[in-house]
A and B are shown apart, each in its own frame.
Chain A
Amino acid sequence: GQQLNQSPQSMFIQEGEDVSMNCTSSSIFNTWLWYKQEPGEGPVLLIALYKAGELTSNGRLTAQFGITRKDSFLNISASIPSDVGIYFCAGLIWNQGGKLIFGQGTELSVKP
């Protein structure tokens, strides 16, 4: 079945640094979604991407839908302690009945 390879698995950064994470696949996706999950909570949608090449921002977060439709990246600029959490990418293929394929997550730790 389809798989998403998300990297890195974890990151330990200093407050103020920029962060970059990405997801790649051998499959073509129609939609890319980026979620953040904090301990004890459900994933919260950060950014949704619908077109190849699309670049979308949400505050300090920027995500792009890869031109080949097989990858996506998420950047966080000027990280702050509340950015701590696990970030997941998810891809959707229209002929798969609406099912999302999730990456394994990137655990972000921010040192004040």
Chain B
Amino acid sequence: DAGITQSPRYKITETGRQVTLMCHQTWSHSYMFWYRQDLGHGLRLIYYSAAADITDKGEVPDGYVVSRSKTENFPLTLESATRSQTSVYFCASSSLDWTNNNEQFFGPGTRLTVL
């Protein structure tokens, strides 16, 4: 399917477990982003990537790890999940050509619950 997809859409895990959220885009966008959305905090950037093998921290990176071995995939890993990481996670991508094509497009989200 064309566009940006996330899997799983829903995940329940336990404290201390490792969890990986997947993000896949078919546009060959160079930039990809991970956000978390919590009540009262809006959308907060966790990590982003400007290209394959290039990643950088966002506003709230602690407890998360990312990788970008292929342009189309940008997995987010919670190495040891904590209850405070219960949230809705959104992946986004953008071509960002710095002129008139800076739109970010979002996936449908993954709702993660850490018990």
Q: Total A-B residue pairs with C-beta atoms closer than 8 Å?
A: 54
* A103 contacts chain B at the CB level, 8 A cutoff: yes
Which of chain B's residues have a CB closer than 8 A to the CB of A94?
Answer: 98
Selected contact of A50 from candidates B50, B59, B100, B107, CB within 8 Å: B100
Selected contact of A42 from candidates B45, B50, B96, B109, CB within 8 Å: B109
B interface footprint on A94-112 (CB within 8 Å = 1, 0 otherwise): 1001111011110000000
Nearest A residue to B9, CB-CB: A40
Instruction: With A42-B109, A45-B103 as known contacts, state yes or no: A102 contacts B48, CB within 8 Å.
Output: no
Q: How far is the CA of A99 from the CA of B48 in the complex (A)?
A: 8
Selected contact of A98 from candidates B48, B59, B105, B106, CB within 8 Å: B48
Nearest B residue to A51, CB-CB: B100
Q: Are B108 and A41 in contact (CB under 8 A)?
A: yes
Q: Are A92 and B102 in contact (CB under 8 A)?
A: yes
Q: How far is the CA of A98 from the CA of B104 in the complex (A)?
A: 9
* A44 contacts chain B at the CB level, 8 A cutoff: yes
Which of chain B's residues have a CB closer than 8 A to the CB of A50?
Answer: 99-100, 102
* A76 contacts chain B at the CB level, 8 A cutoff: no
* B25 contacts chain A at the CB level, 8 A cutoff: no
Interchain nearest-CB distance for A98 vs B (Å): 5
Nearest A residue to B30, CB-CB: A98
Which of chain B's residues have a CB closer than 8 A to the CB of A73?
Answer: none
* A-B contacts besides A35-B106, A94-B98, 19 pairs, CB < 8 Å: A33-B102, A33-B103, A40-B109, A41-B108, A42-B108, A43-B106, A44-B106, A45-B103, A48-B103, A88-B42, A92-B102, A97-B48, A98-B31, A98-B96, A99-B58, A100-B33, A100-B45, A104-B42, A105-B42
